[in-house]
Chains A and B, each alone.
Chain A
Amino acid sequence: MSTAAPAPGQMEPGPTDPQAAEAARAAAARQAQLAARWSDACLAAALFAVDPVGIGGLNVRALPGPVRDIWLELLRELLPAEEPLRRIPLHIADGRLLGGLDLAATLHAGRPVAERGLLAEADGGVVLLAMAERVARNTAAHLSAALDNQEVMVERDGITARTPTRFGVIALDEGANDEEQVPDTLKDRFAVLLDLNDIPYNAALPADHEPITIRRARERLRGVQVPDDMLEAICGTALALGVDSLRTSLFAQRVARAAAALDGRDAVAMDDVSAAARLVLAPRATRIPMPEQPEDQQQPEEPPPEENQDDDENSQSPEQDIDKPLEDVVLEAAQAAIPDNLLAMLKMGAMRSRSRSHGKSGASQSGSLRGRPAGTRRGEPGAGARLAVIDTLRAAAPWQRLRQQERAAQGTGSDVLVEVRQDDFRVTRYKQRSETTTIFVVDASGSAALHRLAEAKGAVELLLADCYVRRDRVAMVAFRGPGAELLLPPTRSLVRAKRSLAGLPGGGGTPLAAGIDAALDLADGVQRRGGTPVVVVLTDGRANVTREGIGGRAQATDDALASARAFRVAALKALVVDMSPRPRPDAEKLAHAMGAVYLPLPHADAKALSGAVQAVA
């Protein structure tokens, strides 16, 4: 087990060109970091093999490729061959996942025959969730429930069953950008979040864990103790990194225990806790810990002697300061393992207080008649609903004998092969991604107005040009003088947009509050019709007209901020584009109050603007 990346200062400096030496040093550091990450990934696989149920799951974020294949191969070798390894396809039906009525067997046997679901079949083993970032919310919820209760509860198709099942999950997360994420519900039930994305092929060396060590570790696992100071180190580190969920602390403790068992020890030691901090806590950090921890200073604890030395070639880890309290050592290990992109985000303070919601953006709607099929429900075809033939037959199947008897009793025709009644009808339900409506809120005041308006118009036209492909709509609100005005109601029509944008006057004061209020109203309407609004405000943030339409800078600014806060409550996606030639903090403050992304674009053209909008939406 290797620890953090080496401190750059400890590398020997190149004798010749200082710049080349610097570059070489950086490259070496990067190399070492990647190697450390790969060895952590291997360690995670081994730990998961030791305790799949306790660890719950591994989220492997990586595009499909050789590195991921090597890692999976490695894991497969470590898992005992006799334990089931089941793959959950992306669009698995609830019936198959949880179990339900086995149609063929039911018809054959003449009595209801339950079918075991995939989760029940995976008892004692591992399920592999492919393309986990696109998993349906239902499937995620079922998986979470099964992981929580360690049993599958079925209440469907006339079958009531509870089947105990214990398994671990490997989620293959192929998300390409930050928007594509495995549902948080699920991630919270996985101990380890791995990211293999930029590990190069040549860094992916085979690891040195053997199936036999895994077996030994499994036997040892139950007896492994967690001393109090180690538990304190785990919980303290979690707190310092702002990891709120207690489940995470619990997982970190289990990972540490598995690490100790893997190492052949009966008590959790410093190394195990550090490994747990790197694998479990670091990827979930929501803040960078303060350099000083004033409270919970334990008496200095000497790290226990390491039984097996680091076998990595790059083990020039920063010498562990003996005087440091345990927690700081762990914290350091965790901090070094915080992924680069997360670290950058934390440093920018971009982690907004309200966490990203999965429900709002591009929220899919059910109940419509278009979109992707999403199961069936009882109901009659017609009015656009389509009959689901197989499910109708499935619903009718169990009754056939009964209905035959009824027919025989009534003396009506017996040449009916399958009798389907109204109650059996099932129709297909569809889910549809809701369309995005981009609302431009343009500051049309003052002298810069003409310039800004032209750019906004250009951006609107550009967005509309490809909106047919993306099924998006655009609307525009302008504010100047005493109030705000809806220039372009949500539309998809380029022609209409051009016509209503043609004559747009500028000049006058800046009633920012009125503009934001108008945008909020419009966004509310869009949302109520089932769309997803994205608000883009183009302004310099310097309000000078109050909500009542009276001049006065101080009151106007207060009003604008109040409107911005109201806007924030609605939790809409928003972008504030500062288009003043010299960006000042006003607009940034406004963006912050609105919960919006702030983007200074002093020399923006229509193209840059539409690019920025698409990035946000």
Chain B
Amino acid sequence: MPAAFPFSAIVAQDEMKLAILIAATDQSIGGVLVFGDRGTGKSTAIRALAALLPPMRVVEGCAYNCDPDAPDAALCASCRENRADGFKLKVRKGAVPVVDLPLGATEDRVIGALDLESALTRGEKRFEPGLLARAHRGFLYIDEANLLEDHLVDALLDVAASGENVVEREGLSVRHPARFVLVGSGNPEEGELRPQLLDRFGLSVEVTTPQDLKTRMQVVRLRDEFERDPDAFIEKHKRKDAKIRRRILHAKEKLADVEVPDATLERASQLCMKLGTDGLRGELTLIRAARAFAALEDDDSVEDKHLKRVAPPALRHRLRRNVLDDAGSTTRVNRAIEELFGT
């Protein structure tokens, strides 16, 4: 695989970078959707994520990257059996998977199917895990999310909601855990995203191209340097990337200790009510994202400043469309923040 562009070498696009860091810190927030013009570095940033993630503990020899410390219900069948039989699960450190869901993927590769190889050569019926199994406990990246075929979207929504993939086909009956964070990118001009899928993304970021000369020159210069000698470039940015990785690691540990005062909760509710967001998911995401942001900033409690910063990405895709207000949803969120928090 061609080397990925280092995260620390991405110029500007602060909101996108922050959203990605938040998603990496607290996976329960539910992923990031990056929507924006062409040539803004959407895919670059998301692909750079893989290199940033600190390793996690997985069960040795498990096809589904099971968590050795998880309760029985969250294990795959073979790990559960092993544990029930009194075996101690062997642990190894593994990389957090960032799995690409390519556009042309067929359904059987996504959800898993019979293993062709063993069926053909040995005549065995064996389940071959699909992309969803590989993405368990990690990230599933959909480029051009709005162009994904409908029947794949259906399959994804179902699994994302239940956290479990159930396969009943070709005489197989398999279920395995599949909890993953959806990361999507797309260009709104190519088509809209189905509302159900939109709702699965915790944060949504709108990116635009920087408009000042210095930044643009810097982007072109760095990209060019990278393309001419990727290895040297990555080496050069290794330390900065490592620093970001340490920051994520520290934030993950700190996350549980970050306090959310009642006043902040109230503020968040007020903001959501003011904007008329649908459901409670918006509020929950807002609080979680603010907490992750506070952890990243090494702050001990969630304050207004954290809410203010994460409110646009957490809420902008949850607003009802108002036909008499043609201002973009970002403007509406910012306006509400201004009214509520003052300046």
Contact = CB atoms under 8 A, between A and B. Distances in A.
Contacts of A157: 106, 108-109
Contact of A402 (B40, B125, B189): B125
A203 interface: no
B37 A145 contact: no
A539 interface: no
B283 interface: no
Contacts of B227: 54
A399 B324 contact: no
Interface in B85-139: 100-110, 113-117, 119-121, 123, 125, 128, 131
B323 interface: yes
B120 A185 contact: no
Contact of A246 (B131, B192, B220): B220
Interface string A529-555: 000000000000000000000000000
Interface stretch (A33-41, A62-70, A232-240, A501-509): A232-240
B214 to A, nearest CB: 9
B107 A378 contact: yes
Nearest to B108: A158
A142 interface: yes
B213 A244 contact: no
B144 to A, nearest CB: 5
B219 interface: yes
A239 B169 CA distance: 55
Interface in B15-57: 37-41, 43
Q: How extensive is the interface on chain A, given as a class?
A: 35 or more
Given A141-B144, A155-B131, A226-B224, A246 B102 contact: no
Nearest to B47: A149
B37 A244 contact: yes
A185 B106 contact: no
Given A150-B2, A162-B1, A234 B220 contact: yes
A510 interface: no
Nearest to A257: B224
Given A236-B213, A296-B213, A569-B326, A246 B105 contact: no
Interface in A21-59: 54
B224 A566 contact: no
B170 interface: yes
Given A158-B108, A185-B38, A149 B2 contact: yes
A236 B211 CA distance: 10
A166 to B, nearest CB: 9
Contacts of B102: 145, 153-155
B305 interface: no
A222 B228 contact: yes
Contact of A359 (B115, B128, B192): B192
Contacts of B113: 158
A160 interface: yes
Interface in A205-242: 222, 226, 228, 231-232, 234-236, 238-239
A156 B106 contact: yes
A148 interface: yes
Given A155-B131, A185-B187, A405-B123, A249 B220 contact: yes
Contact of A164 (B2, B106, B121, B321): B2
B262 interface: no
B253 to A, nearest CB: 34
Given A157-B106, A359-B191, A566-B323, A112 B38 contact: no
Given A112-B117, A153-B100, A248-B39, A402 B123 contact: yes
B281 interface: no
B116 A398 contact: yes
B266 interface: no
A228 B220 CA distance: 11
B223 interface: yes
A253 B220 contact: yes
Nearest to A139: B104
B146 to A, nearest CB: 8
- Residue from B37, B104, B108, B150 having most chain A Cβ neighbours under 10 A: B104
B14 interface: no
Interface in A120-151: 137-138, 141-142, 144-145, 148-151
A184 interface: yes
A246 B100 CA distance: 24
Contacts of A235: 213, 216-217, 220
A300 interface: no
Given A112-B117, A153-B100, A184 B189 contact: yes
Contacts of A154: 102, 104
Nearest to A137: B147
A238 B216 contact: yes
A250 B209 contact: no
A247 B123 CA distance: 50
Contacts of B219: 246, 249-250
A239 B43 CA distance: 23
Contact of B103 (A141, A247, A249, A367): A141
Contacts of A226: 224
B143 interface: yes
A358 interface: yes
B216 A245 contact: no
Contact of B105 (A149, A156, A245, A423): A156
A496 interface: no
A87 interface: no
A377 interface: yes
A402 B119 contact: yes
A568 B326 contact: yes
A562 B322 CA distance: 12
Contacts of B144: 141, 144-145, 185
Interface string B327-340: 00000000000000
A247 B150 contact: no
Contacts of A247: 38-39
Contacts of B324: 562, 565-566
Given A232-B217, A244-B37, A359-B191, A112 B323 contact: no
Contacts of A355: 189
Contact of A245 (B38, B107, B120, B326): B38
Contacts of B220: 231, 234-235, 246, 249-250, 253
A185 B187 CA distance: 9
A188 interface: yes
Given A244-B37, A244-B209, A401 B123 contact: yes
Contacts of B106: 155-157
Given A111-B120, A151-B1, A138 B189 contact: no
Nearest to B125: A402
A602 interface: no
A246 B123 contact: no
B142 to A, nearest CB: 11
- Residue from A232, A245, A246, A378 having most chain B Cβ neighbours under 10 A: A246
A164 B2 CA distance: 8
Contacts of A112: 116-117, 120
Contacts of A357: 189
A249 B216 contact: yes
- Residue from B41, B43, B101, B116 having most chain A Cβ neighbours under 10 A: B116
A564 to B, nearest CB: 10
Interface string A179-207: 00000110010000000000000000000
Contacts of A13: none
A141 B125 contact: no
Contacts of A110: 120-121
B39 A246 contact: yes
10 contacts: A54-B227, A141-B103, A228-B217, A231-B220, A236-B213, A239-B213, A247-B38, A398-B116, A566-B323, A570-B323
Q: 3 shortest A-B CB distances, which residue pairs?
A: A245-B39, A247-B39, A359-B191
Given A246-B216, A569-B323, 16 more contacts: A145-B102, A155-B101, A155-B106, A156-B104, A185-B144, A235-B220, A244-B209, A246-B41, A247-B38, A249-B216, A253-B220, A399-B119, A565-B326, A566-B324, A568-B326, A569-B321
